[in-house]
Chain A
Amino acid sequence: MSGARVAAAALFVRHRPAGVGALVLLVVAALAVAAPLLPLHNPDLTDLANRLQRPGAPGHPFGTDHLGRDLLARLVWGTRLSLAVGVFASLIAALAGSCIGIAAGFFGGRTDYLLMRGIDMLMAFPYILLALAIVAALGPGLLNALYAVAIVNIPFFARSVRGATATIAHREFVDAARLAGMRSGRIIAGEILPNVAPVITVAMSTTIGWMILETAGLSFLGLGSQPPQADLGSMLGEGRKSLINAPHVSVVPGAMIFIIVVSINLLGDGIRDLLDPRLRAGALSRPAPVTRIERAATGADDAHPPGGALLQVRGLHTRFVSAGARAQYAVNGVDLAVDAGQCLGLIGESGSGKSVTALSLLGLAPSPPAVISGGRVWLAGEDLLGANFERLRAIRGRRVSYIFQNPMAALHPLMTVGAQLTEAIRCHRRVPRRAALDEAVGLLRRVRIPGPEARARCYPHELSGGMRQRVGIALALANSPELVIADEPTTALDVTVQAQILQLLAQLRRERNLALIFVTHDFAVLSQLCDRVAVMYAGRIVESGATHDILSRPAHPYTAGLIRCAPRLGAGRRPAAIPGLPPAADHRPRGCAFAPRCERARAACEAGAVAPARLSATRRVRCLYPLEAA
């Protein structure tokens, strides 16, 4: 776990406001703790002769209040009291709220219902009003204010902890613990609590500032600490009476409350960033509309495409860069060519870079963290990676379009299917709304959706998985593109639905002479649709050629292994495994990335880069000892 701790330290250093907050809070807390040891006046000693002294008066650096008490001493002691009250209130709220939340989330059912309806009742009161009512019942006093504020904050803890617990209680490792003979009590202590602890910490860091504010507020109203005892809130409340002629008496304690709460909240934000795994992965940054491009200057000979294909890719490099982590090399020099009307299958395992390659073509790989660090993509001779955003936008969806893996996620959940289709049409062509809607219905009919007029008014969640993917295809076809890039379009679907979608794609391709890049991990699916295949491994294309040639006579040992290791229906035999694991993406081997798993590997394979060799007019293989010689 030391790695995690180092990352935590690094994050704190980078999250400068949190560092500042921690520092300020440390100083304030140290002063408060050390209050009895500091050379201060007695905070309750009245001296009416020296009342309302200005700051800087001799012996009273912060001045005195309306009873002549030293403001500095009162400030330090008041801070001590306010901090203590805030911390205790949040501990009480955290303890009670977490117990309720864990019980409700873990046991569910009736327990959950009863507990959460009780919490809802507490939430039905406007925040401070309930605290007021409780103080009204218990009577004014600091301890009663503390209870009131704690009770008011219980629902917040209960709700967030319940949510986290319910998620974790349905995780598979809890089932596994149950199967390992563990009882509920032990599961809560051993499996649930460690995983909910970050949520409780985050909830505390967000609420402790509020609780200090609220107890101070109750004291300000005269309902919290009673004289002569004074926390920061009651100092402010008393000072208010002399606001006009001695503003410092109320301004200074208020500023102290503010400083404490700000530093707690800044620190809390840092803690939240640290404990929220999504933030830690750097995923919560907003992806830019175009992938960041950092290409080295290229020579003039590179400025023109080498052939006349519809889409040509040369030397594409994409890597993922996030602060505090090693760069991940997703795509390491990919060359591709697709002719008009041709279907290219891009096959590889997860992490091979096939999806990133597909997204990089139109600058759609999310950045941060993606960076295109080299290469060119030509569409009919035009370099797409060099194009400005407006130019790229005009091409996206018009000449080149995408079909995504998960149609539910790729459709806007709050827009009807028809609205999304008409938008896709109207952002490229000036078509009246009415005509665009007719066209949208026509598209739905073309992808064989029954009752297209009614379906156009549906939201995505009202459609079945197969229908949704048909809508995804209709969106891709909206402006009659020349090239469609389909990123695992059938992986999330059931076999029978997959067959329907594959059939639809094949028909549409014939009807419209579409060029298609079909990204998949499944040779069997690929073989149904594609003319040509490019096999990717560790960010490189290791073999490419006609589908039939590669399936019948694979040249690269990896291709051969990939074909053999998938069980084949009706073959009646166990698949042959490829030993070992694919390389990690942060590691860039010098030679062939497959060599450590390859039976045919020799010393030369790992010594240096392996260039693609030409086997025939259409076949390339990146292997020194291929299974098929030229």
Chain B
Amino acid sequence: MTAALEAWRLSKTFGGGRRWFGRARAPVCAVREVSFRVAAGETLGIVGESGCGKTTLARMLAGLLPPSGGRITVDGKDPRAGAGAWGGLVQYVFQDPLGALNPRKTIRQIMHAPLRHLLGMEAPARAARIAELFDAVNLRREFLDRYPHEFSGGQAQRIGIARALAANPRIVVLDEPVSALDVSVQAQVLNLLADLQRAYHLTYLLISHDLAVVESVSDRVAVLYCGAIVELADAAEVFARARHPYTRLLADSAPVLGRKPAPAAAGELPDAPPRGCAFAARCSRAGDACRRRAPEPVCTRGENYVRCFHPVETPQ
């Protein structure tokens, strides 16, 4: 099986080097050796708390940020081959739907850009395609001549999705696509995304801090902590039968209707991950080995894995 998207030991380090006048700066590791494969038509959820490197990872996958190490392949090929082709393979749906639309352009101008610059379509063909896309995301065509500020968050996000689809991508990176939306509108957008995935056979990478959203939409889920994937598992099991203690903590912390709150554990995300397992300082199961060296991934089932010396054993 060739994966639709594969990341291999992908890393990103910010800073480092020297200033022109002054001392060397300490590098910040935002993403550390992230590897995964996503099959065509699959949805991989990536979940983690703020500062865990979710957005950095997403931006690298979309070609918006050059990785410091590792490689990305789309359909087994390097997406950098062929100038400007990355946008034709991977598209991005942004967290802030209004911020992703240029306030000084009409929706029509915004929609034309990918068709013209990526696909090189002629004007009449572009108009027909835009009409088709707007039908697909359930937007009225008279919206095309309006400016972004005239739209609500939910409508703007539909426009953002339509623009992403315009490029005919294989993969869509969804960066917190519903977290800026009202609760009652979130479900509309999530359902729309599911319909579109089926209709266009899209591969999704869904990034979110909301466990319930990730669980309900994804096929598999990767849990990110301090820039590294600590656990990769099927969505139905990742929280219900968490293997990594951090995944366990996340699942227990999430408020659930009708469930009594579990006693909360202390501690927060560290600024700079220490040597060894980044979670060791907050972990009740941590031993000496955890603080000395970082655990390697241990295969659980298929391509799923957990990075822990002492994974939680749960009955199957």
Extra A-B contacts (8), CB below 8 Å, given A176-B160, A572-B215: A176-B94, A181-B167, A194-B105, A349-B184, A494-B49, A568-B212, A570-B215, A570-B256
| Interchain CB contact (< 8 A) of B102 among A1, A195, A525, A571 | A195
Q: Are B187 and A464 in contact (CB under 8 A)?
A: no
Q: Are B184 and A562 in contact (CB under 8 A)?
A: yes
* Interface: A499 (CB within 8 A): yes
Whose C-beta in chain A lies nearest to the C-beta of B269?
A: A494
Q: Are A495 and B211 in contact (CB under 8 A)?
A: yes
Q: How far is the CB of B279 from chain A (nearest CB, A)?
A: 11
Q: How far is the CB of A328 from chain B (nearest CB, A)?
A: 15
**B residues whose Cβ falls under 8 Å from a Cβ of A:** 20, 49-50, 59, 62-64, 84, 86-88, 90-92, 94-96, 99-105, 113-114, 117-118, 147, 152, 154-155, 160, 163-164, 167, 182-188, 190-191, 194, 209-213, 215-217, 236, 239-240, 249-258, 260-269
Q: Are B94 and A567 in contact (CB under 8 A)?
A: no
Whose C-beta in chain A lies nearest to the C-beta of B164?
A: A179
Using known A-B contacts A181-B84, A497-B268, determine if residue A579 contacts B239 with beta carbons closer than 8 Å: no
Q: Are A577 and B264 in contact (CB under 8 A)?
A: no
Whose C-beta in chain A lies nearest to the C-beta of B21?
A: A117
Chain A residues lying within 8 Å of B183, measured Cβ to Cβ, are 349, 521-522, 562, 565-566
Pick from A17-25, A167-175, A376-384, A611-619 the stretch touching chain B: A167-175
Q: How far is the CA of A567 from the CA of B216 in the complex (A)?
A: 7
| Interchain CB contact (< 8 A) of B255 among A349, A497, A498 | A498
Q: How far is the CA of A528 from the CA of B259 in the complex (A)?
A: 8
| Interchain CB contact (< 8 A) of B212 among A178, A182, A498, A569 | A569
Q: How far is the CB of A135 from chain B (nearest CB, A)?
A: 33
Chain B residues lying within 8 Å of A568, measured Cβ to Cβ, are 212, 256-257
Q: Are B209 and A579 in contact (CB under 8 A)?
A: no
Q: How far is the CA of A465 from the CA of B51 in the complex (A)?
A: 12
Residue-wise, chain A 298-334 has the 8 Å CB interface mask toward B (1 for contact) of 0000000000000000000000000000000000000
Chain B residues lying within 8 Å of A186, measured Cβ to Cβ, are 117
Chain B residues lying within 8 Å of A575, measured Cβ to Cβ, are 186-187, 190-191, 216
Q: Are B257 and A527 in contact (CB under 8 A)?
A: yes
Q: How far is the CA of A551 from the CA of B258 in the complex (A)?
A: 8
Using known A-B contacts A172-B96, A466-B268, A572-B236, determine if residue A178 contacts B188 with beta carbons closer than 8 Å: no
Chain A residues lying within 8 Å of B260, measured Cβ to Cβ, are 528
* Interface: A285 (CB within 8 A): no
Chain B residues lying within 8 Å of A570, measured Cβ to Cβ, are 215, 239-240, 256
Q: Are B261 and A502 in contact (CB under 8 A)?
A: yes
Q: Are A565 and B184 in contact (CB under 8 A)?
A: yes
Q: How far is the CA of A464 from the CA of B64 in the complex (A)?
A: 29
Using known A-B contacts A172-B100, A496-B264, A499-B252, determine if residue A182 contacts B113 with beta carbons closer than 8 Å: yes
Chain A residues lying within 8 Å of B160, measured Cβ to Cβ, are 176
Q: Are A566 and B113 in contact (CB under 8 A)?
A: no
Q: How far is the CA of A565 from the CA of B258 in the complex (A)?
A: 16
Q: How far is the CB of A485 from chain B (nearest CB, A)?
A: 20
Q: How far is the CA of A191 from the CA of B229 in the complex (A)?
A: 36
**A residues whose Cβ falls under 8 Å from a Cβ of B:** 1, 113, 171-173, 175-183, 186, 190-191, 194-195, 349-351, 464-467, 494-500, 502-503, 506, 521-525, 527-528, 551, 561-563, 565-579, 581-582
Whose C-beta in chain B lies nearest to the C-beta of A197?
A: B104
Q: How far is the CA of A385 from the CA of B52 in the complex (A)?
A: 46
Chain A residues lying within 8 Å of B118, measured Cβ to Cβ, are 180-181
Q: How far is the CB of A422 from chain B (nearest CB, A)?
A: 26
6 closest A-B pairs by CB: A181-B117, A577-B187, A499-B253, A180-B114, A181-B118, A494-B49
Using known A-B contacts A494-B49, A494-B209, A568-B257, determine if residue A499 contacts B264 with beta carbons closer than 8 Å: yes
Chain A residues lying within 8 Å of B187, measured Cβ to Cβ, are 565-567, 574-578
Whose C-beta in chain B lies nearest to the C-beta of A579?
A: B188
Q: How far is the CA of A577 from the CA of B191 in the complex (A)?
A: 8
Q: Are B255 and A524 in contact (CB under 8 A)?
A: yes
Whose C-beta in chain A lies nearest to the C-beta of B236?
A: A572
| Interchain CB contact (< 8 A) of A173 among B100, B185, B252, B264 | B100
Please indicate which of the listed interface residues B99, B250, B257, B266 has the most CB atoms of chain A within 10 Å of its own CB.
B257
Please indicate which of the listed interface residues A1, A180, A566, A581 has the most CB atoms of chain B within 10 Å of its own CB.
A180
Q: Are A177 and B113 in contact (CB under 8 A)?
A: yes
Q: How far is the CB of A64 from chain B (nearest CB, A)?
A: 54
Please indicate which of the listed interface residues B86, B239, B252, B261 has the most CB atoms of chain A within 10 Å of its own CB.
B261
Q: How far is the CA of A551 from the CA of B255 in the complex (A)?
A: 14
Please indicate which of the listed interface residues B90, B187, B217, B250 has the most CB atoms of chain A within 10 Å of its own CB.
B187
Q: How far is the CA of A173 from the CA of B118 in the complex (A)?
A: 16
Please indicate which of the listed interface residues B102, B118, B265, B267 has the most CB atoms of chain A within 10 Å of its own CB.
B102
Using known A-B contacts A179-B87, A498-B255, determine if residue A578 contacts B211 with beta carbons closer than 8 Å: no
Chain B residues lying within 8 Å of A177, measured Cβ to Cβ, are 102, 113
Q: Are B216 and A571 in contact (CB under 8 A)?
A: yes
Q: Are A495 and B182 in contact (CB under 8 A)?
A: no
Can you name 11 A-B residue pairings with CB atoms under 8 Å?
A113-B20, A177-B113, A494-B209, A494-B268, A494-B269, A495-B253, A567-B213, A568-B212, A575-B190, A576-B187, A577-B190
Whose C-beta in chain B lies nearest to the C-beta of A575?
A: B187
Q: How far is the CA of A351 from the CA of B204 in the complex (A)?
A: 31
Q: How far is the CB of A525 from chain B (nearest CB, A)?
A: 5
Q: How far is the CA of A575 from the CA of B192 in the complex (A)?
A: 12
Chain A residues lying within 8 Å of B95, measured Cβ to Cβ, are 172
Whose C-beta in chain A lies nearest to the C-beta of B20?
A: A113
Chain A residues lying within 8 Å of B87, measured Cβ to Cβ, are 178-181
Q: Are B113 and A175 in contact (CB under 8 A)?
A: no
Q: How far is the CA of A39 from the CA of B74 in the complex (A)?
A: 78
Using known A-B contacts A171-B99, A524-B256, determine if residue A566 contacts B182 with beta carbons closer than 8 Å: no
| Interchain CB contact (< 8 A) of A178 among B64, B155, B251 | B64
Chain B residues lying within 8 Å of A179, measured Cβ to Cβ, are 62-64, 86-87, 90-92, 114, 164, 167
Whose C-beta in chain B lies nearest to the C-beta of A351?
A: B182
Q: Are A181 and B114 in contact (CB under 8 A)?
A: yes
Chain A residues lying within 8 Å of B94, measured Cβ to Cβ, are 172, 175-176
Q: How far is the CA of A178 from the CA of B87 in the complex (A)?
A: 8
Whose C-beta in chain B lies nearest to the C-beta of A171?
A: B99
Using known A-B contacts A494-B49, A567-B215, A569-B215, determine if residue A551 contacts B257 with beta carbons closer than 8 Å: yes
Chain A residues lying within 8 Å of B268, measured Cβ to Cβ, are 464-467, 494, 496-497
Q: How far is the CA of A524 from the CA of B256 in the complex (A)?
A: 5
Whose C-beta in chain B lies nearest to the C-beta of A524?
A: B255
Whose C-beta in chain B lies nearest to the C-beta of A490?
A: B255
Q: Are A503 and B215 in contact (CB under 8 A)?
A: no
Chain B residues lying within 8 Å of A180, measured Cβ to Cβ, are 87, 113-114, 117-118, 163, 167
Q: Are B100 and A563 in contact (CB under 8 A)?
A: no
| Interchain CB contact (< 8 A) of B257 among A178, A194, A496, A524 | A524
| Interchain CB contact (< 8 A) of B92 among A176, A191, A464, A571 | A176
Q: How far is the CA of A582 from the CA of B256 in the complex (A)?
A: 25
Chain A residues lying within 8 Å of B256, measured Cβ to Cβ, are 524, 568-570
Q: Are A577 and B188 in contact (CB under 8 A)?
A: yes
Using known A-B contacts A175-B94, A180-B117, determine if residue A496 contacts B100 with beta carbons closer than 8 Å: no
Please indicate which of the listed interface residues A195, A494, A525 has the most CB atoms of chain B within 10 Å of its own CB.
A494
Q: How far is the CA of A498 from the CA of B250 in the complex (A)?
A: 11
Chain B residues lying within 8 Å of A571, measured Cβ to Cβ, are 212, 216
Q: Are A566 and B211 in contact (CB under 8 A)?
A: no
Whose C-beta in chain A lies nearest to the C-beta of B64?
A: A175
Chain B residues lying within 8 Å of A182, measured Cβ to Cβ, are 113, 117
Q: Are A528 and B184 in contact (CB under 8 A)?
A: no
Q: Are A581 and B255 in contact (CB under 8 A)?
A: no
Q: How far is the CB of A275 from chain B (nearest CB, A)?
A: 13
Chain B residues lying within 8 Å of A521, measured Cβ to Cβ, are 182-183
Q: How far is the CA of A181 from the CA of B163 in the complex (A)?
A: 12
